Chains A and B, each alone.
Chain A
Amino acid sequence: MTGDPLFVHGLNLAVWVIIVVKVVAVFAIVLLSVLFMIMYERKVIARLGVRYGPNRAGPNGWLQSLADGTKLLFKEAFTPKGADKVVYKIAPYLMLLPALIAFAIVPLGGQITIAHHTTELQLADPQWGILFLLMTSGVAVYGVMLAGWASGSKYPLLGSVRASAQMVSYEAVLGLTTATVVLVTGSLHTSSIVAAQHGGFLYHWNVIHTAVIPFILFSVAITAEMTRAPFDLVEAEEEISGGYNLEYSSVDFAWFYLAEYAALITNSAIIITLWLGGPDGPRIAGHSIGPVWFIIKELVVLYIFVWIRATLPRLRYDQLMDLGWKKMIPAALAMLMIIAGFQATSTSSGSGIGHYLADRKWGFIAIVASVALYLLLTRAIEVGKTSSEIEGTQRSESMTGRQL
């Protein structure tokens, strides 16, 4: 069992203080990264659109988000007349909290020693490890859902219903692809997941170990989970004039903004932990520089998120649901089965292609079964579509009512 060396000598006051310091430090890191990230996104998007982006406040405009935040703090906090007052005020915090605490399980690489106490650069390494991520992403729905409901007006409610349907739909993919990582690692601890990917740049990472496809599925699902572009039809201005946070202003709106970007940073960190080796990377002059590698990877992943937002157009609602339920969940299931099959490899004596195949028979059986099931599924969807079309024409009903 892995564990933080901090607790080797039990729990005493110094350990308590160190834990509190770590909590505050992680909190500060996430909040500061949010300030940075907002500017990073605006600058990159501007450059991708051949513009300058914000360039007035501070050096090269890098203090713009600080200025915006300060301005928001001094605006009037407005509560609509029909709002459910208590839930309306709580919702932003319910959104912010999961995004912040999910960062606790991210290993940042290496250990540090403070006053004779050695501790991991990771806030918490619970036994349920990566299940913590599934927990926070499951609970994150509440913020969005209640914000829209408590606003007491129609458009935010529509936005929040869209958002929660979307988040619930894509959670299954998240869970299934995370399970593939747990399969190849054999542990739920995030520290073990990172340790298993250590050594050998790229070659030992889970992206390669799980044959890339689960990684892509996970990244797409987590983008949908965050309701970021191209899955941002939650805040499609031309359809529902805003989204779940339409009625919010002042600090409450700032919390939503903060929560969105905190979730982006945390989820990128989770992607790196699960698939991209965490803080793994070549040593420089014999020194292990895990945190530096981690920051570099984080910047690259965040850049890709921004790039996607600047490039891809928004999906339609039925496209979103089709992608989630008919393509990604079956693919994630198939990959889980195939990887489980290849994990059950036996080692027989002898070489040659025959032995090679025999050793990995469960893996190949799983591939064949997946292809067969895929064909069956496509056929079933086709049949279902035609039969509902027939039904539709019989009842001479327009299908538009069922689209949403």
Chain B
Amino acid sequence: MLASLQSVLLADTSAQALAHASAWAVFLVGAAMILTGAAGVILLRNPVHCALMLVVTLFGVALEFIDQSADFLAAVQIIVYAGAVVILFLFVIMFLGVDRKEAIAAEPTKLQKPLALLMGLVVLVEILALSRVDHWVGGTPALSGALNGPGDNVQKVGQAVYTGYLLPFEMTAALLVIAVVATVVLSKRAGGAGNDEAGAVVAEESSEVTS
């Protein structure tokens, strides 16, 4: 990173160095967004602020997708997660009026904090170890293979989904429909008028599970 920046500054403005520096800049901005957002989600006290920091993280992830030329995933990331899922979060937070500071001290179980810490460490160690062994974990484009053959990223994803992976795709769609129908049935049975918010929560949770 520093080397590439230096080469830019030292008037060695060859096209490749500049492209390289740009790619690095995109990566760094994305990484900074992801980390800031993630830290914000767990450190801030107000649920609405947490949801907003989650959006920052999602945008950072989308940026990294673009950096890896996975354009379609980036678009879907923003349209579905930032544009729909977090909006629903906010809706529920505002409707149920939980947008106040909550007592974090009250833990469901005594062991929750140490267990969470342990699990986090395990996952971190796993990722670090894997990235030492296998390069695909780090998403290095040169090793996981750049796009080849004709057509855009979007076209390739579309072809894969509608030919080779048609059955899983249709099953996911069916699962989503089932989740929606189940939501309607549950909120209907629970008894009419006052239960709209509960239905919304269930719908959101089920869509989260399936997506």
Chain A residues proximal to chain B, CB less than 8 Å:
1, 9-13, 16, 84, 86-87, 126-128, 131-132, 134-135, 137-139, 141-142, 145-146, 149, 157, 161, 164, 168, 171, 188, 391, 395, 397, 401-402
Contact = CB atoms under 8 A, between A and B. Distances in A.
Given A12-B15, A127-B154, A141 B22 contact: no
Secondary structure of the A side of the interface? helix
Interface in B65-110: 71-72, 74-75, 78-79, 82-84, 87, 90-91, 94-95, 99
- Specify which of A127, A134, A164, A401 lies most central, judged by the most chain B CB atoms within 10 Å of its CB: A127
B32 to A, nearest CB: 18
B13 A13 contact: yes
Given A149-B94, A391-B192, A401-B193, A139 B78 contact: yes
Contacts of A84: 46, 48
Contacts of B18: 11-13, 16
A86 B49 CA distance: 10
A254 to B, nearest CB: 23
A135 B75 contact: yes
Given A11-B15, A135-B83, A137-B83, 16 more contacts: A12-B18, A13-B13, A13-B18, A127-B152, A128-B72, A128-B154, A135-B79, A138-B87, A139-B82, A145-B94, A149-B99, A161-B94, A164-B91, A168-B87, A188-B154, A395-B192
B46 A135 contact: no
Nearest to A86: B49
Contacts of A141: 83, 87
25 contacts: A1-B151, A84-B48, A127-B71, A127-B72, A127-B154, A128-B74, A128-B75, A132-B75, A134-B83, A135-B83, A137-B83, A138-B82, A138-B84, A138-B87, A139-B82, A145-B87, A157-B94, A161-B91, A161-B94, A164-B87, A164-B91, A171-B83, A188-B154, A391-B192, A401-B193
A142 B55 contact: yes
- The 7 closest A-B CB pairs, nearest first, are A138-B83, A10-B15, A131-B75, A128-B75, A127-B71, A11-B19, A128-B71
A116 to B, nearest CB: 15
**A11, A131, A142, A157 — most chain B CB neighbours (10 Å):** A11
A134 to B, nearest CB: 5
B147 to A, nearest CB: 10
Contacts of A87: 48-49, 52
Nearest to B8: A13
The range of chain B's interface size is 20 to 34
B13 A139 contact: no
A137 B79 CA distance: 9
Contacts of A128: 71-72, 74-75, 154
B4 interface: no
Contacts of B82: 138-139
B49 to A, nearest CB: 7
A127 B153 contact: yes
B16 interface: yes
A379 B146 CA distance: 52
A105 to B, nearest CB: 12
A240 to B, nearest CB: 15
A54 B97 CA distance: 44
Interface in B110-152: 150-152
Nearest to B73: A128
A326 B143 CA distance: 49
Contacts of B99: 149
Nearest to B191: A395
B89 to A, nearest CB: 11
Nearest to A402: B193
Contacts of A11: 15, 18-19, 22
A126 B154 CA distance: 11
Contacts of B90: 145, 149, 164
B83 A139 contact: yes
A391 B154 CA distance: 48
